[in-house]
Amino acid sequence: MRLFVAINFNTETRSRLLALRDELRNCSKGGNFSVPENLHLTLAFLGECSAEQQASVKAAMDAVCFEPFPINIERIGRFKREGSDIWWAGVSRNKPLLDLQELLADKLMAAGFLLEERKYTPHITLGRQVVTEVAPWTIEPFGEVVKKIELMKSERLGGNLTYTSVYGKASAGAKQL
Ligand code: 2AM
C-alpha cells in the first residue's frame, strides 16, 4: 500500500482552503483540482509499503512526542512544471512544525525508510496540472492548532484518488485516539 504521514484539518480550515481552491480554479484555464477530503499537509511520504513497513511507520509515529502547536496558512504558491504547475496553499515554516517533521523523518530514516532529500516545503496541494496566468499571492493568514498526525493510505478507488486515515498519533495532553 502507498502511505504518507499527514496533518488533516478541521471543518473550518478545510472550507477556507476550499474557497482558495475555488478562487484558483476560477482564474485557471484548466487543472486537476483537489477534492475537499484530500486537502492535507504531508509531513513524510513513504510510498509503497509492506504490512511490516506499515508497522514500522506506526512505531516511528508512536516514538514522536509533540505538544499541540499552531499552523498558519499564508500564501498561494506553485511548483513549476513544464507548463502545468502544482498549486498549493503554503504553511508558515514555524519551529514546532519543522521540529515535528524533522523528528518524524529521523525516526523513519532510523527504521530504514528513504525519504525525500529536498528541503521540506510545507504545502497543501490545491491543484495539479494547473494552467493559469496568475502569479502566486499572499493571503490573510488563517490556521488551527495541530493536535494529531495521521498515517494515510493513498489508493485509486473507482478511478478516484482516495486518502484514508489508518492510524493516528495525538499530541501530548490530547485525548488518546
Ligand atoms: P503533493 O501534494 O505535493 O503531490 C499523497 O500523495 C501526499 O504525498 C501528497 O501530499 C503528495 O505531495 C505527497 N507525495 C507524493 N509523492 C511524493 C514524493 N515522491 N515525494 C514527496 N511527497 C510526495
Q: Supply the pLDDT for residue 177.
A: 52
Which of 3, 8, 20, 40 is labelled catalytic?
40
Q: What is the pLDDT of residue 84?
A: 78
Please report the pLDDT score of residue 175 as a whole number.
63
Residue 176's pLDDT is what?
54
* Cβ–ligand 1 contact at 154 (below 6 Å): yes
Q: Is the CB of 125 under 6 A from ligand 1?
A: yes
- Which grid coordinates belong to 56? 514500522
* d(C-alpha 171, C-alpha 146), whole Å: 8
Annotated catalytic residue 123? yes
- Ligand 1 centroid, distance to 70 Cα (angstroms): 22
Which residue from 4, 33, 152 has its CB within 8 A of the most atoms of ligand 1, so it is best to mutate?
Answer: 4
The set of residues, in sequence order, having a beta carbon less than 8 Å from that of 98 and lying 6+ positions away, is: 120
* Burial class of residue 94 (count of CB atoms within 10 Å of its CB; 0-12, 13-18, 19+): middle
CB of 66 closer than 6 angstroms to any ligand 1 atom: no
Long-range CB pairs of 112-121, under 8 A, 24+ apart, other chains included = 112/56, 113/44, 113/46, 113/53, 113/56, 113/57, 115/44, 115/45, 115/46, 116/45, 121/90
Q: What's the CATH class of domain 2-170?
A: alpha beta
C-beta of residue 90 within 8 angstroms of C-beta of residue 74: yes
Number of the ligand 1 atom closest to the C-alpha atom of 128: 4
pLDDT of 82 reads: 83
> First vs last Cα of the chain: how many Å apart?
23
- Given the residues 16, 78, 123, 169, the one annotated as active site: 123
> Is 40 a catalytic site residue?
yes
Mean pLDDT by 10 residues, the chain (177 residues): 97 98 97 96 97 98 97 97 90 97 98 93 97 96 98 95 97 73
Half-sphere exposure of 34 (CA within 13 A, CB side): 25
Domain residue extents for the chain: 2-170
Q: Which of 45, 46, 126, 129 has most ligand 1 atoms within 8 Å of CB, for mutation?
A: 45
What does the pLDDT look like over 153-167, one tens digit per residue? 999 999 999 999 999
